[in-house]
Amino acid sequence: MMLHIPQILQPDEVREMRGRMDAAPWIDGRATVGAQGAGVKRNRQLDENAQLTQSLADAVLRALARNPTYFSAALPLRTVPPLFNKYASAETYGFHVDGAVRTFAGSPGWLRTDLSATLFLSDPDDYEGGELTVRDTYGEHAVKLPAGDLVLYPASSLHCVTPVTRGERTGCFFWIQSMVRDHGRRQMLFELDQTIQALHAQHGETEHTLALTNHYHNLLREWTEI
């Protein structure tokens, strides 16, 4: 399941974040990938160890924590601290697969990458090209979202960023280990939760919404790995 979650960041938050990033030094994006990724990756990133990167990452994590749709879809257990990248002048990242496990500074061990996330920090009119393209059994899906919006997709998917032919594409990316490892189960829980929320908004708390909520939590209890 690919999911578009709008307005993780509000416009003023995006502007403030972009202002801080524009004044920062950028490094070769190949610094954070292995041999396979380095062969197809041509972009720039903020240094993941820089104080600015850590401050921006904290701001993104706070924004995610206040978004109930993100929590319902990802059921996050652990999250790799967000990183930030930039594409311009035909920079691109060819088709690749994200590593199945990652570690990072301050982590007590390895994290399994169940989900990948891209948070767009440039509006679509700011650049041409630069689509996040995700390949699955149904074909290829190109994603280009408004600044502040996020796309969530299985980390097992092959994906790329097409060359930016005009302007500049700035974004944030990170990986999540979910409390529910199985993608199909996680999708069922998300759809059930969204149905419960819609029924509750329409009818209030009823015997039926309470019964569905009970089933949701029992399934979550059954499938959670923590």
The reported pLDDT for the residue numbered 38 is 76
C-alpha 114/C-alpha 195 separation (Å) is 24
Q: How far apart are the first and last CA of the chain?
A: 22
Per-residue pLDDT of the chain (226 residues; tens, 9 = 90+): 899 999 999 999 999 999 999 999 999 998 777 677 778 999 999 999 999 999 999 999 999 999 999 999 999 999 999 999 999 999 999 999 999 999 988 788 899 999 999 999 999 999 999 999 999 888 999 999 999 999 999 999 999 999 999 999 999 999 999 999 999 999 999 999 999 999 999 999 999 999 999 999 999 999 999 8
C-beta pairs of 210-216 under 8 Å, 24+ apart in sequence: 216/189, 216/192
The predicted model scores a pTM of 0.95
CA dihedral 77, 80, 84, 89 (to 10 degrees): -110
C-alpha 195/C-alpha 188 separation (Å) is 11
The reported pLDDT for the residue numbered 76 is 98
C-alpha 16/C-alpha 63 separation (Å) is 14
The single-letter DSSP state of residue 125 is G
Compute φ and ψ for 132, nearest 5 degrees: -75, 120
Q: Taking phi first (over 0 means left), then psi (-120 to 50 degrees means alpha), and beta for anything else, what does residue 154 get?
A: beta
The reported pLDDT for the residue numbered 106 is 79
Which domains, from first to last, does the chain contain?
Answer: 3-178 (2.60.120.620), 183-223 (4.10.860)
The reported pLDDT for the residue numbered 19 is 97
